């Protein structure tokens, strides 16, 4: 299992949210690049980055931060937030970003996902963010009537190889991941499933690894010190 340490960017600042609420944004680091380099030193190969302004506004923001990390940190960078068009996808993938995450547009424009997967293959991931099992969009402000499992199956049909599943009600809470939902998702599709939301400590990492998940995104647990990044990476590589 791959550990993806996370940096969320709002107004060019490294923040974490609580249950997806933008007004809960809390600064967690002074320098995005120093933070990324520390993740690299801890043994990370990937970093998960989110453009929170982009997610809410529906357009790319903070782009120089993500390309800067891709150029200087020695990590494979995965970016989500505000990616709505093929131009957005190409912008990032042509500037050293390893993988882009399509979120809201996957619900509203599945043809876009199919085109992106056709052109870029496994460099496209889809982020499925759910509240009570229903997909939320537009920076988690809107909740749809679409089940996360229904959308996951549609995305698999569209050619998506990686799904990033966030349980919004657990995001930033350190209350543990929703293993029941994650197991159901992992069994419903052949895609690689990356989990985000609620991870607290090494026991959660062990449970996710044993459940056969492809990856785990860790943010607040690293910043708050409840999870040792080197220990988590070592466990997943053992």
* C-beta of residue 109 within 8 angstroms of C-beta of residue 134: no
Phi, psi dihedral angles at 172 (to 5 degrees) = 75, 10
Contact 188, 160 (CB under 8 A): no
The 8-class DSSP code of residue 111 comes to: H
Residue 170 and residue 177: Cα distance in Å, rounded?
A: 7
Residue 129 designated active-site: yes
Q: How many alpha carbons lie under 13 Å from residue 39 in its C-beta half-sphere?
A: 30
**d(Cα 130, Cα 149) in Å, to the nearest integer?**
10
Three-state secondary structure call for residue 159 = coil
**Selected catalytic residue, list 88, 129, 171, 204:** 129
Of 8, 51, 167, 171, which residue is the catalytic one?
Answer: 8
Alpha-carbon distance 176 to 205, whole Å?
A: 10
Whether 8 is catalytic: yes
Residue 157 neighbours by CB distance under 10 Å: 12
Residues 86, 113: Cα–Cα separation, whole Å: 9
CA separation for the pair 179, 150 (Å, rounded): 18
Give the residue numbers annotated as catalytic, written as ranges. 8, 129
């Amino acid at each position: 299992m791959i550990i993806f340490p996370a940096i969320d960017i709002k107004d060019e600042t490294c923040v974490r949210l609580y249950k997806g609420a933008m007004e809960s944004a809390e600064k967690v680091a002074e320098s995005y690049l120093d933070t990324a380099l520390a993740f690299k030193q801890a043994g990370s190969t990937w970093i998960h980055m989110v453009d929170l302004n982009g997610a809410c506004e529906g357009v790319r923001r903070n782009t120089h931060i993500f390309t800067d990390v891709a150029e200087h940190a020695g990590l494979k960078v995965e970016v989500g937030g505000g990616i709505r068009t093929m131009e957005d996808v190409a912008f990032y993938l042509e500037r050293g970003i390893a993988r882009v995450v399509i979120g809201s547009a996957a619900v509203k424009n599945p043809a876009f996902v199919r085109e992106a997967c056709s052109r870029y293959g496994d460099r496209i991931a889809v982020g499925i963010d759910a509240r009570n099992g229903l997909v939320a969009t537009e920076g988690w402000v809107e909740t749809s009537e679409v089940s996360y499992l229904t959308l996951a199956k549609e995305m698999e049909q569209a050619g998506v190889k990686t799904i990033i599943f966030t349980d919004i009600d657990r995001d930033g809470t350190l209350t543990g991941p929703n293993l029941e939902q994650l197991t159901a998702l992992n069994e419903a599709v052949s895609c690689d499933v990356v989990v985000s939301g609620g991870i607290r400590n090494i026991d959660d990492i062990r449970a996710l690894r044993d459940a056969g998940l492809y990856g785990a995104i860790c943010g607040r647990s690293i910043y708050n010190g409840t999870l040792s990044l080197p220990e988590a990476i070592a466990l997943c590589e053992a």
